[in-house]
C-alpha cells in the first residue's frame, strides 16, 4: 500500500511537470506576449515612464529570454536575475501583468469560491440524479420512467448559459432580486462574516441549478443504463431468492456495483465543471476562476493563465488519485485482483 502510494505520487509529479510544460508552450504559441504588446502601445502614446517599468518587468520575469528558460523560471527550476529559485515549486504563483498584482491576490477568493460552487454542483447532481435513476431503472418503461427520461433530455439539450439568462431575467421580474454574483454586492470587498456567508448560500442556489442541470440529466441516463445492466445479473436473483426485501437487495448489490464508473469519473468531473461553467459564470457574473482564465488567455497574461490551468490540472490529478483509492477500497476485485483468477 505504501509502495503503491509512493509510486502514484511520483507519477503524479511527473504528470504535472509534463502538463506544466505543455500549458506553457501552448500559452506562448501566439506571437508576442503581454508586455511586448503593452510596450508597443505605450511607445506609440509616448509614455516613457511606463515603458521603463514594463521593460523592468520584462527583465525581471525574463520575457526577453528563450522560452525554455522562461518556463524553468516559472516553475522554479532556474534562478531569476537575483540568482534565487522562486517559482511554482517554491510557492510563488507569479505576477499578473494585466492586474499589475501578484497572481495570488488576483485569484485569491475566486479559487475557493470555484471550489465551493463546484462542490455544490457535484453534490446537487448526485443527490438529484441517483434517486431518479434508481426509480427509472427499477420501473423501466413505466410512465414515471418516460417522464424522467423526457425531462432528462430537455436538461441535456438546454444550453446552460441560456437557462442562466432566462433565470436572470425572470428572477428579476418576478422576485425583483438580482441573482448575479455569489453574494450581495454590498459585501464585496468586505471581510467574511456570517451575513456574507448567508448571502453566499442564497446566491449559490441558482448557479448550482443552472450548472448542474446538464450534468444531472447525463448522470440519470448513465446511472439508469448501468443499473439496468446490473439488475439483469444472476446475483440479483440470488439476493431475491435469499429473501432480501427488494429495496435492500437493490441497494446492497446492483446499486453498489453500478457506482464504479462514477467513482472512476471523479477525476474528470472537476476540470470539466471548471471549464464547462465559464459561460454561466460570465452570464451570472460569478467571481470564479473561469472568467478570469478566459480574460487572461485573451490578453496573454501568461503567468495568470498558466497558474489557473495548473490549478485545474492539479485538481484532476488529485481527483484521479482519490477515485483510484476509492475504487480499490470499494471493489475487492481491484484491491486483490490478479489472485486466483
Q: How do beta strands 101-102 and 95-96 pair?
A: antiparallel
In degrees, rounded to 5, the angle at the alpha carbon of residue 196 between the alpha carbons of residues 164 and 174 is: 40
Distances, alpha carbon 162 to alpha carbons 157, 215, 269, 271, 279, in Å: 11, 15, 22, 22, 9
Q: Report the site for another protein in 45-64 (rule: CB under 8 A).
A: none
Binding-site member from 95, 253, 303, 311 for another protein (CB under 8 A): 253
Nearer to another protein by C-beta: 109 or 331?
331
Q: In angstroms, what is the minimal distance from the CB of 334 to another protein?
A: 7
- Based on its alpha-carbon atoms, the radius of gyration of the chain, rounded to whole angstroms, reads 25
| Site residue total, another protein (CB under 8 A) | 33
Neighbours of 18 (CB within 10 A): 11
- In this chain, which of 56, 112, 150, 235 binds another protein, going by CB under 8 A? 235
Q: Between residue 162 and residue 191, which ones bind another protein under the rule CB under 8 A?
A: none
Place of cell 443552472: 210
Residue 249 C-beta: closest distance to another protein, Å: 10
Which of 23, 121, 137, 239 forms a contact with another protein (CB under 8 A)? 239
- Measured from the CB atom, the residue of 43 and 252 that comes closer to another protein is 252
By beta-carbon proximity to another protein, the closer residue of 27 and 320 is 320
Told to check if 43 binds another protein by CB under 8 A, we report no
**117 makes contact with another protein (CB under 8 A):** no
46/243 with CB nearer another protein: 243
- Among positions 65, 240, 295, 314, the unique one binding another protein when judged by CB under 8 A: 240
Ordered DSSP codes for 127-140:
HHHHHHHHHHHHTT
As a whole number of angstroms, the distance between CA 29 and CA 31 comes to 6
Residue 259, phi then psi, degrees to nearest 5: -75, -25
CB 258 within 8 A of CB 234: no
> Which alpha helices (H) appear in the chain, and where do they start and end?
2-28, 34-45, 48-60, 67-75, 103-138, 143-157, 160-170, 194-231, 234-242, 246-250, 256-258, 260-264, 266-276, 278-283, 289-298, 302-330, 332-336
Estimate to the nearest angstrom the gap between the alpha carbon of 91 and the chain centroid: 21
We find the least distance from the C-beta atom of residue 257 to another protein, in angstroms, to be 6
Stretch that binds another protein, among 24-32, 112-120, 230-238, 309-317 (CB under 8 A): 230-238
Q: Could you say whether residue 337 binds another protein (CB under 8 A)?
A: yes
Q: Return the number of the residue (138 or 160) whose C-beta is nearest another protein.
A: 138
Which residues from 255-294 bind another protein, rule CB under 8 A? Answer: 256-257
CB of 339 to another protein, least distance (A): 5
Give the residue with the Cβ less far from another protein, 191 or 338: 338
- Residue 143 binds another protein (CB under 8 A): no
Task: Locate 6 and state its grid cell.
Answer: 509512493
The interface mask with another protein, positions 3-32, x = CB under 8 A, is xx----------------------------
Q: What are the C-alpha distances in Å from 97 to residues 108, 221, 289, 295?
A: 16, 45, 17, 12
Contacting another protein within 307-336 (CB under 8 A): 328, 330-336
Work out whether 237 is an interface residue with another protein (CB under 8 A).
yes
Positions touching another protein (CB under 8 A) are 1, 3-4, 233-235, 237-246, 252-253, 256-257, 328, 330-341
Amino acid at each position: 500500500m505504501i509502495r503503491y502510494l509512493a509510486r502514484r505520487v511520483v507519477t503524479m509529479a511527473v504528470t504535472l511537470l509534463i502538463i506544466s510544460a505543455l500549458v506553457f508552450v501552448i500559452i506562448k504559441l501566439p506571437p508576442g506576449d503581454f508586455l511586448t504588446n503593452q510596450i508597443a502601445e505605450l511607445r506609440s502614446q509616448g509614455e516613457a515612464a511606463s515603458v521603463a517599468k514594463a521593460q523592468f518587468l520584462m527583465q525581471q520575469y525574463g520575457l526577453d529570454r528563450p522560452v525554455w528558460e522562461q518556463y524553468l523560471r516559472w516553475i522554479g527550476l532556474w534562478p531569476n536575475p537575483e540568482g534565487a529559485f522562486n517559482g511554482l515549486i517554491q510557492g510563488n504563483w507569479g505576477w499578473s501583468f494585466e492586474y499589475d498584482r501578484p497572481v495570488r491576490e488576483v485569484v485569491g477568493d475566486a479559487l475557493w469560491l470555484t471550489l465551493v460552487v463546484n462542490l455544490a454542483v457535484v453534490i446537487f447532481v448526485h443527490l438529484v440524479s441517483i434517486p431518479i435513476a434508481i426509480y427509472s431503472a427499477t420501473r423501466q418503461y413505466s410512465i414515471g420512467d418516460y417522464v424522467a427520461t423526457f425531462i432528462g433530455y430537455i436538461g441535456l439539450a438546454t444550453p446552460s448559459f441560456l437557462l442562466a439568462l432566462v433565470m436572470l431575467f425572470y428572477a428579476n421580474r418576478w422576485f425583483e432580486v438580482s441573482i448575479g454574483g455569489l453574494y450581495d454586492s454590498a459585501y464585496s470587498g468586505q471581510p467574511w462574516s456570517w451575513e456574507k456567508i448567508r448571502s453566499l448560500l442564497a446566491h449559490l442556489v441558482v448557479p448550482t441549478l443552472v450548472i448542474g442541470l446538464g450534468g444531472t440529466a447525463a448522470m440519470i441516463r448513465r446511472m439508469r443504463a448501468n443499473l439496468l445492466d446490473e439488475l439483469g445479473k444472476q446475483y440479483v436473483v440470488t439476493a431475491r431468492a435469499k429473501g432480501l426485501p427488494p429495496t435492500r437487495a437493490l441497494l446492497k448489490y446492483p446499486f453498489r456495483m453500478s457506482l464504479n464508473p462514477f467513482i472512476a469519473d471523479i477525476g474528470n468531473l472537476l476540470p470539466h465543471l471548471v471549464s464547462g461553467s465559464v459561460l454561466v459564470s460570465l452570464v451570472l457574473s460569478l467571481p470564479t476562476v473561469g472568467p478570469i482564465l478566459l480574460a487572461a488567455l485573451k490578453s496573454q497574461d501568461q503567468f495568470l493563465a498558466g497558474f489557473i490551468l495548473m490549478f485545474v490540472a492539479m485538481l484532476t490529478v488529485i481527483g484521479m488519485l482519490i477515485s483510484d483509492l476509492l475504487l480499490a477500497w470499494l471493489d475487492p476485485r481491484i484491491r486483490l485482483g490478479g489472485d486466483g483468477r
